[in-house]
Structure 1
Amino acid sequence: MASIFLSPLTVSLPGLKNPSPHKPINGVKLFTNAFPKPSSRRVDLVVSKASTTTHQSTARRTANHHPNLWDDDFIHSLPKAYSSPSYVERAETLIREVKEMFNGMSSHNSSAQERLSIVDNVERLGIDRHFQKEIKEALDYVYRYWNEDGIGSGIYADLNTTALALRILRLHRYQVSSGVLENFKGKDGQFLSSNSQSNQDVKIMLNLFRASLIAFPGEKVMEEAKVFATTYLKQAMTNIEDANLSQEIQFNLQYGWHTNMPRLEARNYIDIYEANTSWMKCTNKKILDLAKLDFNMVQSMQQQELQVLSRWLADSGLPQLDFARNRYVEYYFWAAGGCVEPKYFAYRIGCAKIAYLATVIDDIYDTYGTLGELKIFTNAIKRWDPSTIDHLPKYMKVVFMALYETVNEMVKEATKTQGRDTLDYARKVWEIFLDSHMQEAEWLAADYIPTFDEYLENAKITGGARIVILQPLLTLDALLPDNLLPEIDFPSRFNEISALTFRLSNDIKSFKAEAARGEKASCVECYMRDNLGSTEEEALDYLNSLNEKLFKELSLEYLKLDNIPTCSKDHVVSLSRGFHFFYIERDGFTISTKDTRDHIVKILVQPIIL
C-alpha cells in the first residue's frame, strides 16, 4: 500500500479518532472537534474502527474505551507561565530564608516537636527536596532524644509528638519501634483517656492515624492504632467546626499513604495551610509562599514535558489505533505525581511512553488481536529487527516501531547514567511480558479458567509493574550495576510485591468490566473457582486483605537499610503509590472521565494564585 500523509483537512482514515466536544471543567475546555496537528512523519496505516465486530472478515472483540480527553491544541496552548528567570530568583531567595529558619532552631534550642513540625510542613507542602541537609540535622536531633518511652515537647513523652516522630523518623529510615505506642494505651486499650473531641485531641488522633499507615508486618499495635484512630476521626468529623481540620482529616482517610500521590497532597495542603490562621501565627509565611511558587514553577515544567510527549505521540501513529486506550496525559500525571526534580526529565517521559505502549499492547492481546496475529507479533518482538516485520498486520507494524524506537531511545538514556548497554536486559523483560500476555490469550481462546495461584503467577507480570518501572529507573542518577539490579528488579521481593499489588488493585476494580467483554480470568473469578460456594464479596474481602498485608511488607522492603540507592527505591515506591491512587474508586486509567480528569486539571493545568 502506498504511504500517505495524515491531514485533518483532506484525509479521513478509518479508525482515526474524532472526539466530540466536552464541556469545560472549571472554565478549561479539554478538547475540540479538531483533529490533532498533522505529523511530518509518513504513516503507512489503515485501521478499522474497534467498535465494529469484523475486520476484513476477522471477528474482533472490542472494549469501547472512551477517547482521549486532551486535545493537542489545548496541550500546546498551556502557557508555562512560571518558567521565567525572575521566578527562579524569587524561589532561590525564599529557599535561603527558609533554610535560615531551620538553622535558627539550633541557636534557639527549639524542641523536638518544633523541629518535627517544620519538617512535616515542608514535606507535606512538597518542597522538602530543597532542604535535605536541614531536615537530616533536625531529625538527627530528634532521634538523639528518642527512647523506649517515645518523645515529647518537654521532658515527658506525649502521644502527639511520639506519633509524629515515629512516622517521620521511620520514613527517613531511622530505626524506631512502634512498641512505644503501647505506653499511651489505657487499661481499656484506648489511646485517649477521655472521649474529648477538642481540636487538639483530634490533631493527636490524626497524627496517630498517619503514623499507623507506615506499619510493618506483625506490628499489632499499629493495626490497633489505625482502627482506633479511624473510628475516632470519622466520628469527630460529624462535630468538627474547623473546616480546614475537617478537610485534612478527610484527605488522609481517603488517600492514606500507599494510595496517595505526593503532588496532590502538596496541592491539597497548600489550600489548608493558607486558610489556617493559627498555623500562620506559629510558622513563617515564607514556607507557604515558597510552596505556592514552587508548585507553579514545577507545573510549568510539567506542561512543557507534556508538549514533548504530545509531539512524540503524534509522530508515532499510535493515536490512530482506535481500539486502544489513549491515556498519555494520565500516564504522565502518574509519573510526575511523585517526581518533580527537573533533572529527571527522561524518567518522567520514559514512564509515560512505556506505560502507554504497555497499555496498547494489553489492548491488543486482551481484545483486538487474533490468536494468530498475537503469535507472530510476539515472535517479531523477540527477533527485534524492523526489516523482518513486513508480514505483520499494519496496526502491529505501528506498535512494533513505536516500541522499538522507544526502548532503544531509553537504552541510550540509561547508558548515560549506568555506563553500560542495557538493551539485552530490557528486551528480555519485554519478551517475558509478551509471553505472559500470550498465555492469557491462549487461556481465553481455550475458555480455560486457571487456578488462583496459576493465574496470579502469570498476571503479576501482565500487570505491567516491572515493564513500567525498569527502564525509567535506569535513567536516574543512581548506579544499579548488574550485581545490584536484581535486588530491586526481578527476582527481588521488592519487585514481587510491587507486581502483586499492581495486579490485585487492577483486578479488584476492573474485573466486572473485563468479564463483560469476555475476559473471564481474574483474581476474583479464579478465587471463587478455587473456593466453591464463595461469593464475590468474600473474594473481594480476601483480595483487599491480601493487598493490605503486601503494603506492610512493601513498607518494610522500602525502608530497610540495604545496598539499593535510596533514590531508586523512592521512585519505585512513588510509582506504586501513584498507581494505587488511580484505583481507589475505580480503574482511573481506563475510566479517566471522572476524578482522574479533575485531579489532572488541578495539578497540571491550573496554577495557584500567588
Structure 2
Amino acid sequence: MLAVDEPTEKPPTLLRLNSSRGLNVAYEHSHSPQGSDHAFEDDIGFESFQRAVKDAINLDSYAVSAYDTAWVARIPKALKGGRPVPHFPEALQWVERNQMADGSWGEQQPLTVFDHYFSTLSCLIALKSWDTAPQCVSKGEQYLQEGLSSIKDDELKYVSHGMKNAFAAMLEEAEKLGLTIAPAATPPCVESLRSDRTKVLERLEKIADLIADCPKKLLSFPEGLEPVLDWEGIRELQFEDGSIFSSPAATACFVMRTKDSKALSYLTALIGRFNDAVPSMYPTPLSEVLSIVDHLERLNIDRYFSAEVKDLLDILHRQSEPDEDDNDDESSDDIETHAMIFRALREHGYDVTPDTFLLEGISNGQVGQLGARGMLQLYRASEMIFPGELLLDYTKNITTTFLKSTLASSSDAALKKEIEDALHSPHFMQFRALESMKYIDRFEASVEAEETYFEMTFSRLMHKLNPLMIAFAKVNFNNCQAIYQEELQTLTRWDEENLRKLYNFQRQPLLPAFLAGAVGMPDPKLSLARSVWTRGSVLVTVIDDLFDEASLHDGIQGLRLFHESIKRWDPSIVDTCCDSVKILARLLMNEVDSLCKEASEAQGRDLTPFLRTLWQDVIAEFLTEAEWNDSGYQPSSEEYLRTGAISFGLGPITLYTIFCYGEHISDDMIEDDDYLEAFDLVNQYGRLINDLRTHSREVFGGPHSFIREYQREHPKESKQEAYASVQNVLKGLASKVFSKLLNPRYSSQSVRETHLVMMRSLYLMYYEVDGYRFTTHELKKQIQRFFYKRFPSE
C-alpha cells in the first residue's frame, strides 16, 4: 500500500462496525457535531453558533444592538447659548430601559460572554457621557468589575481583532470619564488588550496612507482607531446611503468627528425604523451575505445551513427574473455583486444566463473601475461558462489578463496567494473538504498585518463571525476525520483479505480511491456511498491492470475466458486459467453481487441484472482494446474514444454510488436522454484526461491513446500542437458536462452530485500524472494530512 505515517492518536469511536462483512458502517448522525473535542461546544454551543450564522445570511434579520445604539445615543446636538443635548434622546432612553437584571446589556443569548462586556462598556460610556441613570451606571460597573476580574485568554479566542481593539479603546475612554471598570488587580488578558492596542496604533502611525493600507479587520471598527485615523479621509469609503460600512456605530463615530449631514440622515432613518434603537448593520450588503456563504462552503461546513442558503438563493433567483419588479437597492447594483450572485446561482443549479447579471456592467465600463477583489469575483463567475457563452469567454480573457498583471506587481501576500490559487486550478474542480484544510491553515498563519482574502472586507459582521466559523470548521474536520479513519480501517481489512495478493502490477489504489470518495462525499451520513465508491474504484483499477499485463496472465486467450466468465457470470469457465485470472474472476463476481445487494437494499428493488450489465460492458471493452493490441489494429480516434470511454470503468463506480447515496432513484432518472448524454460525457472526459497525463509513457499506456490516434489522423500537427488540440477538446467536454449537471432539470441531488464528484476526482487524480499509478508527493501529503493530522484543539 501507499506508505503514509500512522496516526499518533487513536480516533474516538464514533461508529458501529458490522463484523459479519466488515463493510457496513452505521453513523450515529445528529445535527450537532460529536467527538472528543468539546471546547467549541462548551464555549459557544452549536445551536448558538448556528443561530448567529443563520441570522447573518437572512436578508430580513435585523436584531437591535445595544453596542451600536449606545454609540448613536452619544451623538450631541448643539443648542445656542446652552450645553449640548443628545441628538437622539430616544436612543439614550432605550439604553436606560434595556439593562438586564445582572447589570449588563446585550442579547439574551450572546455567542460569548465578551459580547456582553463589549455592549455593556459601550452603554456605560453613553450614560456617563450624559451623566444620566446613575443606578444603571453603578450596576453596570459592578458587572464589568466582577466579569473582568476573572476573564481569561480563552474567553477572547473567538473575538475578532477589530472588536478587541475597539474594546481596549473603550476601556481608555471609560477611565477618562471616571468610570470604575477595571478590577483592583487587572487580569493579564486585559493588560494584553491594552498593550496590543498600543502596538497597533504605533504601527499604524507609520503607515502613510492609512485608509488604503490599514488592515480591514481593524478599519472595520474605525471607532477603535481614533488617535491615528483621518476622519475626513474616511469619506472616500462612505456608502451611498451615508453610512460607514453599513455600521451604525462606525457611522455615529463619523458623525461626531465630522458632523456629516448624510451620515446623520442615515442614523435618523434607522432610529425611526427600529423603534428608538439600531441594529449592528443595516442594510446587510448582499455581497457580504454571499461572501459568508462562500466562506461556509470553503470551510466545508455549509451543509449545516443548507436550508438557509437555499432560501437565500431562491430569493435572489426570483429577483433576477425579468418579470420581477426591479426593487434592487443600490448595494446590489455593482458588477462585483452581480458576478457573485450569478456564480452562486449557477453553481447551485439555477437556470440563469450571464447576460442578465453581467452584460450591463461590462457594457457601461464598470469593469474598468474594479480592483483586484472585484476582478477575482468576475473571474470566478466566468469559470461557470457553458458552451456558446461568448460574454463569459470575453470576461475570462480580460480578468485573466488583469489578475496576471496584479500577480506580477502586487506586494499583498494574501491577495497574491488567492490569485495564484484561482489561476492555478478551476474553482469548480476543487473538493471543498480538501480546500478547507488549506483555507483554515491560511487563517491560522495570518497575522494582524497580513489578512486573508476573506478578511479584506470592511464588514464587521464577517469579522465577528470569522473566528467562530474557523473554530467550528476545525471541530467539524476533526470529527469527520475520526469517522473516515474508522471507515479506512474497515476498507483496509477488505483490501488485505481480498486484493492485496493481486497487487503485482504498478498500482495500489485503495488510499487514492478512498481519498476521492471522502473529500467528494464528506457528509458523515454518506458512509455507504464512500464505501461503494472506493471498492468499485479499486476493482476497476485491478482489472485494468490484469488486461494491461495480459502476457503475465495466459495472454489474450486468458482474457477472452475471463470476459466469457463475467459475461455468463460463471466462474467455472476460468478453471483452466492461471491463478490470478481465476482469483480475480471469482472475486469480481462475489464483490459485484455484494455491491448489488447493498444497492438493491438501499433502493428497495432488485438491481442485480442492471448492475451486473455495467461490469459486463466494461469487461467487453477491456477485451476489445486487448484484441486491438494483440492484432496490431489501429482504431480511429472516434472509435477509440467510444470504446475507451466505457473501458475507463466509471460506469460501475458512478451508478453504484448513486444508488447508495440515500435518495430514491427511479428507472426514468437513469434512462433519461439528458442523463445518458451527461454520463457519456463524463466517461469521455475521464478517458481523455487519463490519456493526456499518460500519453508519453507507452510502456504503461499500451500502443493506443486518443493523442496517438489523433496524431496519426493529423500528421501535419506537431506533438505540442496535437496535445494543445486534445487539451481544447477536454476543456470543451468539461464545459458540456457542467452545462448538463448544473441544469435545473436534474432534480436528483445524488445523480448531480455523484457525477460532479467524479469530475473533480478525475481532475485531482490526473491533474499531473495518473494518481493511481504514480502517487505524487503532493497527493501523499494530502492523504496524510486529510486522514491523520488533526487540527489542534482550541
Aligned partners of 1:96, 1:406: CA distance in 2, in Å?
46
Distance 1:259 1:281 in 2: 28
Cross-structure match for 1:503: 687
- Cα distance 1:361–1:317, how it changes in 2: closer, same or farther (>3 A)? closer
Q: What do residues 4-34 of structure 1 show as CA deviations (whole Å, max 9, x unaligned)?
A: xxxxxxxxxxxxxxxxxxxxxxxxxxxxxxx
Tell me the equivalent position of 1:154: 330
Aligned to 1:300: 482
Residue 484 (structure 1) aligns with: 669
Q: Which of 103, 119, 124 in structure 1 is aligned with 2:55?
A: 103
Name 1:576's counterpart in structure 2.
759
**SS across alignment from 2:770:** coil
What is the CA deviation profile of residues 459-493 of structure 1, one whole-angstrom value per residue up to 9, with x for unaligned ones?
1111222122111211111111222222389x711
Matching residue of 1:127: 301
Q: Does 1:184 align with 2:386?
A: no
Structure with the larger RCO, 1 or 2 (CA within 8 Å, 6+ apart): 1
- Return the offset for 1:110: 2.4
- Structure 2: distance between partners of 1:249 and 1:402: 48
Indicate the residue corresponding to 2:459 in structure 1.
Answer: none
- Superposition pairs of residues 544-563 of structure 1, within 5 angstroms: 544-562=727-745
| Alpha-carbon spacing, 1:78–1:376, altered in 2? closer, same or farther (3 Å) | farther
Map of 1:22 onto structure 2: none
CA contact 2:645–2:687 (8 Å) conserved in 1: yes
Contact 1:202 1:233 in 2 (8 A): yes
For the residues of structure 2 that align with 1:96 and 1:565, how far apart are their CA atoms? Answer: 32
SS at match of 1:512: coil
| 1:249 paired to 2:419 | yes
Distance in 2 (alpha carbons) for counterparts of 1:416 and 1:543: 42
The answer (yes or no) to whether the contact 2:335–2:358 under 8 Å persists in 1 is yes
Aligned to 2:402: 232
Aligned mates of 1:442, 1:402 — CA distance in 2: 24
Higher deviation after alignment, 479-488 or 520-529? 479-488
Name the amino acid aligned to 2:530. Answer: R
1:141 aligned to 2:315? yes
The alignment's C-alpha RMSD in Å is: 2.6
Give the 3 Å change call, closer, same or farther, for CA 346–134 of structure 1 in structure 2. same
CA contact (8 A) 1:258 1:551 kept: no
444-453 vs 281-290, which moves further: 281-290
Call closer, same or farther: CA 1:310–1:517 in 2, change over 3 Å: closer
Deviation larger for 373-382 or 461-470: 461-470
User: What amino acid is aligned across from residue 476 of structure 2 in structure 1?
Assistant: D
> Normalising to structure 2: TM-score of the pair?
0.63
Summarize the Cα distance change of 1:421–1:488 in structure 2 as closer, same or farther, 3 Å threshold. Answer: farther
Instruction: State the shift of 1:77 in Å.
Output: 6.8
Rounded to whole Å, the distance in 1 between the matches of 2:290 and 2:569 is: 53
**Does the CA contact (< 8 Å) of 1:233 and 1:249 recur in 2?**
yes
The equivalent of 2:2 in structure 1 is 69
8 Å contact from structure 1 (residues 506, 583) kept in 2: yes
Q: Distance in 2 between matches of 1:439 and 1:316?
A: 27
Change (3 A) 1:151 1:378: farther
Aligned to 1:378: 563
Larger mean Cα displacement after TM superposition, 570-579 or 101-110: 101-110
SS in structure 2 at match of 1:609: coil
Helix, strand or coil for the counterpart of 2:429? coil
What letter corresponds to residue 168 of structure 1 in structure 2? A
> Once the 2 structures are TM-superposed, how far is the Cα of residue 181 of structure 1 from its aligned partner?
1.6
In structure 2, distance between residues paired with 1:390 and 1:545: 47
Q: Is the 8 A contact 1:478 1:567 kept in 2?
A: yes
Distance 1:255 1:156 in 2: 28
CA contact (8 A) 2:596 2:607 kept: yes
Aligned residue-pair number? 532
Q: Match of 1:192, SS?
A: helix
Structure 1 unaligned segments of length 5 or more: list them: 1-67, 195-199
Q: 1:259-292: per-residue Cα shift (whole Å, max 9, x none)? A: 3222222222222344337366354421111111
1:40 matched residue in structure 2: none
Query: Sequence identity of aligned pairs in percent?
Result: 27
Aligned to 1:543: 726
**Matched residue, 2:596:** 411
Structure 1 residues 401, 314: CA separation in 2 closer, same or farther (over 3 Å shift)?
A: same
Conserved 8 A contact 1:313-1:319: no
Residue by residue, what CA displacement relative to the aligned partner does 1:75-122 show, whole Å, maximum 9, x if unpaired?
587622595645479469335413333225422252322221211110
**Partner Cα separation in structure 2 for residue 383 and residue 480 of structure 1:** 27
Q: Mapping of 1:331-342 within 5 angstroms?
A: 331-342=513-524
Q: How much does 1:564 deviate?
A: 4.3
C-alpha distance in structure 2 between counterparts of 1:564 and 1:167, whole Å: 19
Equivalent residue in structure 1 for 2:345, among 169, 173, 176 = 169
Q: CA deviation at 1:158?
A: 0.8
CA change 1:324–1:396 in 2 (3 A) is farther
Instruction: For 1:348 and 1:107, locate their aligned partners in 2 and report how far apart those are by CA, in whole Å.
Output: 38
Aligned to 2:147: none
8 Å CA contact retained: 1:504, 1:547: yes
CA distance in 2, matches of 1:155, 1:444: 63
Shift of 1:437: 0.8
2:314 counterpart letter in structure 1: D
Deviations 1:508-566 (CA, angstroms, capped at 9, x unpaired): 111111x2357111111100111222222122111111111111111111111225412
Tell me, what secondary structure is at the counterpart of 1:103?
A: helix
Matched, 1:360 2:542: yes
SS at match of 1:107: coil
Q: Given the alignment of the two structures, is residue 600 of structure 1 paired with residue 770 of structure 2, yes or no?
A: no
1:343 aligns with 2:550: no
Deviations 1:45-67 (A, max 9, x none): xxxxxxxxxxxxxxxxxxxxxxx
Distance 1:129 1:111 in 2: 23
Tell me the residue number matched to 1:193. 368
What is the Cα deviation at residue 133 of structure 1?
Answer: 1.1
Mapped to 2, the partners of 1:303 and 1:430 lie a distance apart of 29
Match of 1:266 in 2: 436
Return the offset for 1:253.
Answer: 1.6
Cα 1:284–1:318 shift into 2, 3 Å: closer
Gaps of 5+ in 2: 15-33, 63-282, 457-461
Equivalent residue runs for 1:277-296 within 5 Å:
278=455, 281=463, 283-296=465-478
Distance 2:9 2:774 in 1: 24
1:163–1:231 CA distance, 2 compared to 1 (3 A): same
Q: Is the radius of gyration larger for structure 1 or structure 2?
A: 2
For the 8 Å contact 1:508–1:524, the answer to whether it is kept is yes
- CA contact 1:330–1:589 (8 Å) conserved in 2: yes
Match of 2:652 in 1: 467
TM superposition shift of 1:330:
0.7
Change (3 A) 1:563 1:240: closer
* Separation (CA, whole Å) in 2 of partners of 1:425 and 1:134: 38
How far apart, CA to CA, are the structure 2 residues paired with 1:509 and 1:152? 48
Question: Structure 1 residue 347: deviation in Å?
Answer: 1.1
1:339-362 deviation digits (Å, cap 9, x = unpaired): 112221111111111111111111
Tell me the TM-score normalised to structure 1 length: 0.81
Structure-2 separation of matches of 1:162 and 1:355? 40
In structure 2, the CA distance between the partners of 1:143 and 1:481, relative to structure 1 (3 Å rule), is closer
Query: Within the alignment, does 1:398 sit opposite 2:583 as a pair?
Result: yes
**2:359 aligned counterpart, secondary structure:** helix
What displacement does 1:422 show?
1.1
CA deviation map 1:381-405 (0-9, x unaligned): 1222345542231112221233222
Change (3 A) 1:223 1:237: same
**1:114 equivalent among 288, 300, 309:** 288
C-alpha contact 2:285 2:332 (8 A) present in aligned 1? no
Select between 133-142 and 381-390 the one with higher mean Cα deviation.
381-390
Which of the residues 381, 385, 390 maps onto 1:215?
385
Tell whether 2:241 aligns with 1:310: no
**Aligned equivalents of 1:75 and 1:193: distance in 2?**
52
**1:317·1:398 contact (CA, 8 Å) conserved in 2?**
no
